[in-house]
Amino acid sequence: MNWSIIWELVKINILYSNPQNVTAVKRKQEKNPQKKISAYKSVIRQQIFLVLLFAVIYIFMFASLNFKYYPGYFTFYTAIFFIMATLNAFSAIYSIFYESDDVKLYAHLPIKSSELYLAKVISSFGMGLTFLTPLLSLFFITYCQLAGLVVAIPMTVVAFLILFATSTVLALYANSCLGGIIVRSQHRKLISTILMSFSTIGAVAAILYMNVINSKNIGDEQVKLLDRPIIPYFRGFYDIVNAPFSLTTVLNFYLPLALLIGLIIGIVKWAMPNYYQNTLYARPNKQKTKKNVKTCSRKSYSLNNMMIHHHVSTLQNATLISQTYLMSLIYVVIFLTPVLVNGINLSNVSSDYFGISMLIGVILGSNCATPSTFLGVGISLEKENYHFIKSLPYPFKKFLTQKFLVLAALQAFVPAMVYLVVGAFLLKLKPLLILGFLLGLLMMISIQGQLIYWRDYKNLNLLWQDVTQLFSRNSGQWLTFGMMMGSYIIGGGLALGLVIIGNVIHQVQLINMTLTLVLVLLAAAIQVLISLKFWKKL
């Protein structure tokens, strides 16, 4: 192999591993056109920073336990970070191998299939290592507790490298199997979007689950803490130091290690040499067209259904879906975690607080309609279709109105369902409080959604390459941050103040009725202004 060629390929392919970082580098270059910024070096620096940050951030959590007495927690933490690392590695590998769509450019050059394959794998290391580096701290602390410093240092390195290799190999095999199916599918973009969204949501869900478990342990004495069940396979990384020649070590460490070596040999012998052939000859399966005109006419969509299908098809971007749904709920999940872990429910809260409930819905609704969601970028997602549709004999105002309604419905449905389940079954709120909350949530998503939709129309960008470019238009990220902080601080302070005043003067119902009326009138006034300034001028 020619390692100089491999390194040049790594510098190119590493840009595909994290498009958001590349977009940030491009923005820096635009601000300082005279300063030469190396894109791949900037991406590598950012990945190294994240790796070091994750390596340090969990040290105190691990140091609080003596894993000599808690092997179950050792396997639990190892499994959680391994899952997150594998999902993250799979996402990066899929983007590098399939989303880059560059194999046909290299096929005619003097570049071996194995060289390109290896370069793409190396390019994904930064993303895979990010969630795995906390295990360096975990292994070192645990092995020090079990066998001392002399054994801990080499065994930490060995165990970490084995687990990193396992994570990468599993991601490669998953990428080979699922990626091969996706590129042959007629719905490649949709399936890949769902897959990338699942990997992102899975990684975040793993972090949240770990935080829930850790919050249960806060305040407990170590003697009272019960160990978790020991997870097979991951216990091998504990037993290799605690009992290196036991049967459990053979089953959970040595046998999986032998299997890992076999999988690596399979990649080297079959996947790497045949990469060009497997990729270039992967073509979508063509559906057979029927000549029966009557059958086709029966299955044809109406114009409205066709336009709705078009609006939905523009949303097939994993980053956009994650920003719209996941980021709007993650902070709330973090705040709710202590309440749910401690078994607190709000069943005793009086229905008189329906106004406060509506205000809380407005606060959370503000976080569900930001410039980095469907409504904030929906028009710009059209790209070249924007001018084409505008030239059609179809009312463009109707097109934009229908697009807003479709995007608003999709954007509001998931948060509304999540909060309905949380309020009814977890917090056990009274029906009137849930109704007030949902009305406030939907009202705010509608009003603020129109404002950011209007903003997208004014700051239209049809030449974007990565969707994150749309998020940062006109200080969009700062606007998102300001919306979140403003809603939490101002709205939260107002809600707390009204609760205190209502209890002091014993007029809870009157204050909540007044608050409800004010919120509805304010929403109606803003809606009238939006209609006059935006919708009627289209």
Question: What DSSP string describes 141-173?
Answer: HHHHHHH-HHHHHHHHHHHHHHHHHHHHHHHHH
Torsion of CA 230, 232, 238, 243, to 10 degrees: 100
What pTM value is reported for the model? 0.72
401 close to 379: Cβ distance less than 8 angstroms? no
Residue with tokens 């009312």: 395
Per-residue pLDDT of the chain (538 residues; tens, 9 = 90+): 788 999 999 988 888 776 666 666 676 766 777 777 777 888 888 888 888 888 888 888 788 888 998 999 999 999 999 998 998 888 888 878 877 777 888 878 888 989 999 999 999 898 889 889 999 999 999 999 999 999 999 999 999 999 999 999 999 998 888 777 776 766 666 677 777 667 767 776 777 677 666 666 655 554 467 888 899 999 999 999 999 999 999 999 999 999 999 999 999 998 898 888 777 665 555 554 444 444 444 444 588 888 998 999 898 877 788 788 877 777 666 666 666 666 667 889 999 999 999 999 999 999 899 998 999 999 999 999 999 999 988 899 999 999 999 999 999 999 999 899 888 988 889 999 999 999 999 999 999 999 999 999 999 999 887 787 788 788 887 888 888 889 989 999 999 999 999 999 999 999 999 999 999 999 999 999 999 999 999 8
Percent of the chain beyond pLDDT 90? 49
282 close to 266: Cβ distance less than 8 angstroms? no
Q: Give Cβ neighbours of residue 240 (< 8 Å, ≥ 6 apart).
A: 155, 159, 249, 253
Assigned token pair, 216: 């249960």
Residue with tokens 């109707």: 398
Determine the residue type at 280.
L
242 close to 143: Cβ distance less than 8 angstroms? no
Closest Cα partner for 466 from 325, 323, 310, 317? 317
Residue-wise pLDDT tens digits, 322-361: 788 877 777 666 666 666 666 667 889 999 999 999 999 9
Instruction: Say how far residue 14 (Cα) sits from the centre of its chain.
Output: 20
Q: What are φ and ψ of residue 440, in 5° steps?
A: -65, -40
